[in-house]
Amino acid sequence: MLQRITYLLLLTFLFSCSSNAEKDQDRVAVARANNEYLYQDDIIDIVPAGTPTKDSAELIKKYIDNWIRESLVTQKAESNLGDDQKNVEKQLRNYRNSLITYTYEKELVKQKLDTIVTDAEIEEYYNNNKADFELKDNIIKVVYVKVDKKAPGLDKLKKMYKSDVPSDRELLESYCHQFASNFYLDDSSWLLFDDLLKEIPIQTYNKELFLQNNRFVEVSDSLNHYFVNIKGFQIRNSLSPLGFEKENIINIILNKRKLQLITKMIEDIYNDAANTNKIEIYSNDKLKK
Based on the number of CB atoms within 10 Å of its own CB, is 160 exposed (0-12), middle (13-18) or buried (19 or more)? buried
In 147-241, alpha helices (H) = 154-160, 166-179, 193-199, 207-213
Residues spanned by the domain of 154: 135-234
The verdict on 246 and 126 lying in the same domain is: yes
Q: Are 146 and 152 in contact (CB under 8 A)?
A: no
For the chain, how big is the Rg over CA atoms in Å? 34
- Asked if pLDDT for residue 121 goes beyond 90, the answer is yes
- Asked if pLDDT for residue 21 goes beyond 60, the answer is no
pLDDT, tens only, 66-77: 999 998 998 888
Residue 278 within a domain? no
Residue 284 within a domain? no
pLDDT confidence of residue 184: 96
Q: What percent of the chain has pLDDT over 70?
A: 89
Query: Dihedrals φ, ψ of 288, to 5°?
Result: -80, -15
Residue 287 banded pLDDT, cuts 50, 70, 90 = low
Of 42-51, 147-156, 216-225, which gets the smallest average pLDDT? 42-51
Q: What percent of the chain has pLDDT over 90?
A: 64
Of 67-81, 83-97, 226-240, which gets the smallest average pLDDT? 83-97
pLDDT, tens only, 164-220: 999 999 999 999 999 999 999 999 999 999 999 999 999 899 999 999 999 999 999
The verdict on 125 and 105 lying in the same domain is: yes
pLDDT, tens only, 102-119: 999 999 999 999 999 999
Q: Are 228 and 216 in contact (CB under 8 A)?
A: yes
The verdict on 140 and 229 lying in the same domain is: yes
Phi-psi region of 11 (alpha: psi -120 to 50; beta: other; left: phi over 0): alpha
The verdict on 175 and 47 lying in the same domain is: no
- Indicate the number of domains in the chain: 3
The verdict on 193 and 253 lying in the same domain is: no
Residue 207 within a domain? yes
The verdict on 108 and 168 lying in the same domain is: no
pLDDT confidence of residue 241: 94
The verdict on 157 and 119 lying in the same domain is: no
pLDDT, tens only, 23-55: 334 788 889 999 889 888 888 778 777 777 777
Sign of CA dihedral 264, 269, 271, 275: positive
Residue 289 within a domain? no
Residue 146 within a domain? yes
Q: Are 143 and 229 in contact (CB under 8 A)?
A: yes
Q: What residues contact residue 122 under an 8 Å CB cut-off, 6+ apart?
A: 242, 246, 249, 250, 253
The verdict on 170 and 226 lying in the same domain is: yes
The verdict on 55 and 41 lying in the same domain is: yes
Domain finish residue from 204, 234, 264: 234
pLDDT confidence of residue 8: 39
The verdict on 193 and 166 lying in the same domain is: yes
Question: What is the per-residue burial (b if ≥16 Cβ within 10 Å, else e) of 35-44?
Answer: eeebebbbbe
Query: Dihedrals φ, ψ of 82, to 5°?
Result: -75, 170
Residue 6 banded pLDDT, cuts 50, 70, 90 = very low
- Asked if pLDDT for residue 250 goes beyond 50, the answer is yes
Residue 35 within a domain? yes
The verdict on 165 and 206 lying in the same domain is: yes
Residue 19 banded pLDDT, cuts 50, 70, 90 = very low
Structure pTM? 0.66
Residue 163 within a domain? yes
Q: Are 240 and 135 in contact (CB under 8 A)?
A: yes
The verdict on 77 and 92 lying in the same domain is: no
Residue 12 banded pLDDT, cuts 50, 70, 90 = very low
* Bridge partners (DSSP) listed for residue 14: none
pLDDT confidence of residue 145: 97
- Asked if pLDDT for residue 289 goes beyond 80, the answer is no
Strand blocks (E) in the chain: 29-33, 36-39, 139-148, 180-184, 191-192, 216-220, 224-234
CATH of the domain at 154: 3.10.50
Residue 18 banded pLDDT, cuts 50, 70, 90 = very low
pLDDT confidence of residue 27: 80
Domain finish residue from 48, 83, 118: 83
Residue-by-residue DSSP string for 77-96: HHHHS-HHHH--HHHHHHHH
Residue 288 within a domain? no
- CA neighbours closer than 13 Å in the CB half-sphere of residue 135: 21
